Chain A
């Protein structure tokens, strides 16, 4: 079987698998988010935590829940890393430096999982399992909880209540993330991913050298790393490491896992708003962007040959794993940058300017195709609000989306949302470029060096967490700046999303007539895709021109 056929088969199998799970998983999540019944174990948790899970919250109370939970999580994770040498299973790891501990805490709580450290030589098993892996579950669940509140804003009328954050959080973890992760971890173990508590083993290689190999509970963390679009690897090499991602099948499965919730949530949305076509339109936009991006990156990597290895492999092989090849690497790179996952199985820094530039652009899109768990859907819904506003005017009515009018208040929150991330990315990169000391962190000079910095801030602010590599970001300044970028990039948008949810929930819906802009047809799919591309393109064009474009155009 040649590479091209194998590549196509992988993509077809992936799309087929996603299509198969779209309905059951989407409907299951809708049920989880709307069912009035609690599980017994959930009741127990609520009792222990002292939560009134049946109390419907105002958007502001819901937001307080989100923020309080995040603040406690950051502090806990920070303390955990600083004190890890006193804890069990530390496998001899020293306390993590304060700035790196802050960066890492921020990174995992914000679902970013940017890693300025090598997991195998920095974190003990307990921190990995009870600290980082726990955040992998709950930070993913927080994203879904927030989008659930937004959807309730669309479905409810004349109320100021958008659901209960604690109930949403608990249910998503217990009923969605844990069961799927459990099954998938077993599948991964069966396919060759390691799962042990061995700690560091010294091995003498055939050549007679000594090598230290860190073992650990990898498979269990790997499943949620992808499923929750976290991306924080057990090892520094992430999914390029053979213990995390040993063969093409695990690679395919990891891609599937990191896409599956993002692509199924539009079904949840359609089901909850009572018009599945609305969900189909959203998933169509996501799929359109994802497919175009896969095509662009794959074509770029296939047709640019930089070395003799590349010649034999039929394309750009620098920075890619031989066992995956061009197709599977490109597919992984696109999927991980279009979700807020950020796991990598190849080094985006080594991609062609076109391919690497595309991975930056993917993140600049705001992680919406399909995006992070929950955050992808609320991101694209906010852009849909903007698209509906402009298009709705063009049909001669005060714009309305799903029966809710988009007035000054709604546009205020939507505008602030679309303003936040670009501002963080550009201001962050701008400051980094203006400081001579920080520029030294770049591995490369010129346009490529600038791309490395732009990538770092884009990745942090959009909560992606993938690294371009090349930038030595484990400095006090970068740890702090990127940590703040992750926190603001995660929680400011959530503030605006929840405020929007509150303002939508208060409204009496407008009935649909022939004069209403239809938001379920191909027309709207095209329109929304165009609005996304133009708004993002216009925002980042100058920066991209000085990075990937300057590099790529000769």
Chain B
């Protein structure tokens, strides 16, 4: 029963249940250096103005520079220098995040060599004789052109195979070296420009415009050229901007109060206070966090077509998961041999193994494996079965098997669908025992698939045909998937298993895997209806799909992950493409989405909490001279007013650099309930943000008090 399911390349195990840190590679110190020129370039006010918080820092730095030139002092120059550094560090975080994408884009560009395409002339139709070709550069291909590609050649553009079948090396985009099969018709027809045909010859109909190919889009995405602010990023920016305005008002109006108190403040100090108060930490890292979130997906071979989709992934309420490949291993596996009475189990196992030796389907292989593991039956060598003729499975016979044809063992063995094998036995004069019926029904009822094994033996002219027994093929639920679903439930995400199986089978598997719900005998229309139903209740739905008939559902879903092996229609419809074509990825995508939002929230909290310590450093430094009582607010015991203000500003700048790795990597995410997550993050980033700067500012003060002139 070889079902035509696309086998995902099983390279990295995506289902390591206990590894929750979705890491994004470590920050290399060299990246900081190489990104430095970019960071300087971003100081251009026209670029800076897009980030209101950091733009205020830059304007402040300009003001203090002018003030320091007019009225030079060590203090003024220290503040000026560190304000500029604050702005540069912010740009650096963005540049580093982008830099990682650029490296990837470089690799991708290399695959976009100046390929020549062999275009077929206009009149070409599939199967038409008399092919006329012309050589054109790949860039000159238009939508709907047909090109022919043969072994060793690079596919010149994205398209669908319309004729032939070939093995294709897609390592250029997936990083996966095992070749994949691409053939005309069906769900494995899509090919990507830049990949290489290894064998055979195919005709491809081009489905992308020049400059808009998959690789072009990938390059744009990883480079961040097409990056737009996501809805949540915009909302957070609004909050940050308003906090910035509040603090600016607080500081600007402080001057008349200060003058009244007899303690007029210099521009340098007022600017320093503004910069210390406005949420520079999150303002500096916000864009890096967004880029790094996309980047973490790319590292997992998932291409998100927009940051919006990544954010939506964090919000998903319902996951639609295809049974095959996500919940169960790719195919059914032999779990048990059930002989009829009068047949030894070893005899059945032996027959099952012999009939499956040439069966290259996963089911067939699993029969051989089970026979070997359970009954120690070794595989036969070729010579042993020299005269054996293997009978392949066909849709008509619905059986496969072997005719041994040897003198000492002249048997024919067949395995396959119950009705097919039974009628085969009858044709050869046998009478299937009545036991078979109940065994077959029992297996079906439990959600399994029965394969009946029959034998026809010729010995001394006599022919005996009989049923030996039944192989129980079973869906094997992936290890650890149950725990994964439990976690998802704790996160408040409902899982729905989608399967073409009958409701009985579906229920059995659903129970075993621990999904919340299932959709049996699912048609594309059913899927679509399910998505719409969930969405009408305000839920966000994520799904994976690969077939053309999945396309409408993929487009309807809030997060639609198309498999790279899928059709181009599916890839167009989804808002993400998984290059590994691994449906389990969906769970990781959700985690990355959540991690992105958590990182933003955590650093915002941290940034605001930091202000408390900065006040305690700066306010006594500003006013203790006129109101000595305020000296009691100097709880850190900072050396002098100038060293106190400098320390706060230096801390403010250094914390940005210190947090770049966290921004790029994302904060640790552990699937748990919202309340538990919040507790953890408040303790870590709220209280941490409250306490850390007290320590940091004090330490910096201990160092810089020795700078001459900064007394």
Contacts and interface: CB of A to CB of B under 8 A. Distances in A.
Interface string B195-222: 0000000000000000000000000000
A450 B242 contact: no
A154 to B, nearest CB: 14
B232 A396 contact: no
Given A394-B681, A427-B249, A553-B629, A408 B235 contact: yes
Contact of B317 (A386, A511, A517): A511
A450 B598 contact: no
Contact of A538 (B252, B604, B608): B608
A460 B232 CA distance: 35
B9 interface: no
B234 A447 contact: no
Interface string A409-447: 011101110110011001101110110000100000011
Contact of A396 (B254, B593, B605): B593
Contacts of B626: 550
Interface in A257-298: none
A320 to B, nearest CB: 25
Nearest to A386: B239
A476 interface: no
A515 B492 contact: yes
Interface string B468-505: 00000000000000000000011111100000000000
B677 A394 contact: yes
A543 B601 contact: no
A411 B238 contact: yes
Contacts of A391: 601, 678, 682
A510 interface: yes
A521 interface: yes
Given A510-B538, A515-B673, A398 B315 contact: yes
B311 A398 contact: yes
A511 B256 CA distance: 51
A508 B534 CA distance: 12
A403 B257 contact: no
A493 B675 CA distance: 31
Contacts of B601: 390-395
A390 B604 contact: yes
Interface stretch (B258-266, B424-432, B569-577): B258-266
A542 B678 contact: no
Interface string A66-83: 000000000000000000
B492 A396 contact: no
Nearest to B255: A430
B537 interface: yes
A394 B254 CA distance: 33
A419 B261 CA distance: 26
A517 B491 CA distance: 11
- Between A394, A426, A446, the greatest number of chain B beta carbons within 10 A of the residue's beta carbon is seen for A394
Nearest to B667: A394
Contacts of B674: 395, 397, 514-518
A468 B315 CA distance: 49
A13 interface: no
B246 A521 contact: no
B interface SS class:
helix
A356 to B, nearest CB: 15
A77 to B, nearest CB: 31
B682 A433 contact: no
A418 B242 contact: yes
Contact of A407 (B232, B598, B627, B681): B232
A403 B493 CA distance: 16
A546 interface: yes
Given A391-B678, A393-B597, A514-B673, A447 B261 contact: yes
Interface stretch (B342-350, B609-617, B647-655): B609-617
Given A419-B242, A538-B277, A546 B250 contact: no
Which of A397, A439, A539, A545 has the most B CB atoms < 10 Å from its CB? A397
Given A447-B627, A511-B538, A517 B597 contact: no
Contact of B629 (A415, A427, A513, A550): A550
A396 B612 CA distance: 26
A549 B633 CA distance: 10
Contacts of A545: 619, 623, 627, 630, 633
B594 interface: yes
Interface in B323-372: none
Contacts of A518: 674-675
Given A416-B242, A430-B257, A398 B605 contact: no
B261 A450 contact: yes
Contacts of B254: 542-543, 546
Contacts of B675: 517-518, 521, 523
Given A394-B678, A514-B492, A429 B257 contact: yes
Interface in B569-601: 593-595, 597-598, 600-601
B246 A396 contact: no
A431 B257 CA distance: 9
B235 A422 contact: no
Given A411-B238, A433-B256, A510-B538, A393 B604 contact: yes
Given A415-B241, A511-B539, A543-B253, A389 B235 contact: yes
B669 interface: yes
Nearest to B676: A395
A446 B251 CA distance: 20
A534 B489 contact: no
B678 A523 contact: yes
Q: Which residue, of A392, A403, A508, A515, has the highest number of chain B Cβ atoms within 10 A? A: A515
Interface string B148-187: 0000000000000000000000000000000000000000
Contact of A450 (B257, B492, B594, B608): B257
B632 A546 contact: no
A45 interface: no
Contacts of B704: none
Nearest to A507: B538
B283 interface: no
B257 A543 contact: yes
A433 B317 CA distance: 55
A251 to B, nearest CB: 34
Given A396-B598, A550-B630, 18 more contacts: A390-B601, A396-B594, A396-B677, A397-B597, A398-B315, A434-B259, A446-B261, A511-B539, A515-B491, A540-B250, A541-B250, A542-B254, A542-B257, A543-B253, A543-B257, A545-B627, A545-B630, A546-B261
28 contacts: A392-B601, A393-B597, A395-B678, A396-B314, A396-B594, A396-B595, A396-B677, A397-B314, A408-B231, A411-B239, A412-B238, A416-B242, A426-B253, A429-B253, A434-B256, A450-B261, A511-B539, A513-B492, A514-B491, A517-B675, A534-B608, A539-B247, A541-B619, A543-B250, A543-B257, A546-B254, A550-B630, A552-B629
